[in-house]
Structure 1
Amino acid sequence: MTHHTAEHRSDEMNQCIDNCSTCHAVCLETINYCLEKGGKHAEAEHINLMSVCADICATSADAMLRGASVHSATCGACAEVCRKCAEACAAMGDDADMQRCADACRRCADSCGRMAKAA
Structure 2
Amino acid sequence: MTHHTAEHRDPAMNECIDNCSRCHAICLETINYCLGQGGKHAEAGHINLMAVCADICATSADAMLRGAAVHTATCGACAEVCRRCAESCEAMGDDAQMQRCAETCRKCAESCARMAA
User: TM-score under structure 2 normalisation?
Assistant: 0.95
Secondary structure, aligned partner of 2:6: coil
5+ residue gaps, structure 2:
none
Secondary structure, aligned partner of 1:9: coil
4+ residue stretches of structure 1 with deviation over 6 A? none
Question: Residue in 1 aligned with 2:102?
Answer: 102
Equivalent positions of 1:1-119 (< 5 A) are 6-117=6-117
Aligned amino acid, residue 114 of structure 2: R
Distance 2:39 2:6 in 1: 43
Displacement after TM superposition at 1:8 (Å): 1.3
Distance 2:7 2:69 in 1: 17
Aligned amino acid, residue 25 of structure 1: A
Distance 1:6 1:57 in 2: 18
Displacement after TM superposition at 1:37 (Å): 0.1
Displacement after TM superposition at 1:73 (Å): 0.1
User: TM-score under structure 1 normalisation?
Assistant: 0.94
What is the aligned length? 113
Displacement after TM superposition at 1:7 (Å): 1.6
Distance 1:43 1:87 in 2: 15
Aligned amino acid, residue 92 of structure 1: M
Secondary structure, aligned partner of 1:92: coil
Distance 1:71 1:109 in 2: 14
5+ residue gaps, structure 1:
none
Distance 1:37 1:102 in 2: 17
Secondary structure, aligned partner of 2:41: helix
